[in-house]
Amino acid sequence: MLPSLDHCRCLINCFGISVFSSFFWVNREPQSLPVKDIKTCKPIPSTTMSHPKIKRRVGKYEVGRTIGEGTFAKVKFARNSETGEPVALKILDKEKVLKHKMAEQIKREIATMKLVKHPNVVQLYEVMGSRTKIFIVLEFVTGGELFDKIVNHGRMREDEARRYFQQLINAVDYCHSRGVYHRDLKPENLLLDTYGNLKVSDFGLSALSQQVRDDGLLHTTCGTPNYVAPEVLNDRGYDGATADMWSCGVILFVLLAGYLPFDDSNLMNLYKKISAAEFTCPPWLSFGAMKLITRILDPNPMTRITVPEILEDEWFKKDYRPPVFEEKEDTNLDDVEAVFKDSEEHHVTEKKEEQPVAMNAFELISMSKGLNLGNLFDVEQGFKRETRFTSKRPANEIIHKIEEAAKPLGFDVQKKNYKLRLENMKAGRKGNLNVATEIFQVAPSLHMVEVRKAKGDTLEFHKFYKNLSTCLDDVVWKTEEDMQAMK
């Protein structure tokens, strides 16, 4: 349950900030904050909660914990040391990029994305390179995934789904007009900002999961194909714009229905359903919504509805307000070319320092949604690709309890300091589910435990976390209000 208003005020006061001072927060040094105990609001001696040493520094960015990872890249939370602004730092393995002959394509798409500034697209700020890595600095989005809303609350009302779909089409239309295609649109790539607006991530960076063969066409290696267009599955090459349209149609169906239009435990049967566009709209959909979905989920890419046609659709146009924003001008693209050069003068400096266990107030607030710290410490917060809880137990005991709970669930456990890597020994819908767990000290005798999906299916992660949290009931810290609510 959510903390009371007084508890929220106490949490905010503990970190020495107010709603009105939040606009100036990013320019403050975390060390200057009067850090206090989260529950009692009494000051904590500086020796117990001092500003931790940085894990790593890349250029002007202080690099923190991992917040996502894939085959080619890891995404880490980072902070601009000059402005205090939180960012997401995508780290690519340069050797893998060169090995798969994707350098020119990635270079071209990153250069294009630097020119993109749209309110519904996660912004790419800059790109840097070292001898072995490529660093892409992205806007840090704090509102979670759109997928979370479906998992937690089921299908949406038509007006709510339409608003998100309008924002999705705005983003797709803008990027397509600049020759940038996503090719991997799915719920995990649809994020929400603090105000509930849609932000599409990884636009233009999808070449990391694509391969260009000798025919010059894109060919894909996809995990779960539920959102993928028939022509992509056929592996005969495809047009990025029409493939994106199909994925948008599947997403709209999921928002309105609460389930996938194409789903089957047998992969070959699933392929057949997608190729034939074999689906049925639920009876609660309006005629306008059904008509639009049917036109988008057309298995023939030549007759599939286009973005300009969607913009003229009557269902789509209801309450539609085109976004108003300023175009980016005079963007410097020198850094894009420099990341692939071997010359040391073009390389960014990487510094590694001692691994911290403590976590400062700045990182805590950056990890929460806006300034709603209840999202960070709420025991029953909504599930997503990462979730967290607090505990007053010693770190070693927490680790032992997690290990004890994970093994009967069929997970292999690997330990390293205050981190655990859990891998399901049985393959799921998207391969073996991998879960990363890390423990942070946020105050004396108080730890925050982060549980994050590193690899595999999001729904399988939700199921795993529910089972895990049941086993860890005696470890999770509950406030007096939580105890009262459970009676």
For the annotated binding site, the residues are: 90
- Catalytic position from the list 148, 173, 184, 298: 184
SS3 content of the chain, % helix, strand, coil (to 5): 35, 20, 40
Residue with tokens 């040094």: 29
Question: For residue 442, what are the CA distances in angstroms to 38, 353, 421, 451, 460?
Answer: 9, 20, 21, 16, 29
* Beta strand pairing call for 218-220 and 419-424: unpaired
C-alpha closest to that of 322 among 180, 197, 167: 167
What is the spatial distance between Cα 464 and Cα 126, in angstroms, rounded to a whole number? 37
Q: What angle do CA 365, 368, 372 make, to 5 degrees?
A: 90
Provide the annotated binding site for ATP.
90
Contacts of 443 by beta carbon, 8 Å cutoff, 6+ apart = 37, 38, 44, 48, 49
What is the spatial distance between Cα 414 and Cα 455, in angstroms, rounded to a whole number? 15
Question: For residue 85, what are the CA distances in angstroms to 23, 30, 74, 329?
Answer: 11, 12, 20, 22
Q: Count Cα neighbours of 362 within 13 Å in the Cβ-side half-sphere.
A: 26
DSSP per position, 268-323: HHHHHHHHTT-----TTS-HHHHHHHHHHS-S-TTTSPPHHHHHT-HHHHTT----
What is the spatial distance between Cα 67 and Cα 438, in angstroms, rounded to a whole number? 11
Burial 323-355 (b: 16+ CB within 10 A, else e): eeeeeeeeeeeebbebbbeeeeebbbebeeeee
What is the spatial distance between Cα 140 and Cα 76, in angstroms, rounded to a whole number? 10
313 catalytically annotated:
no
Q: Which residues are known to be catalytic?
A: 184
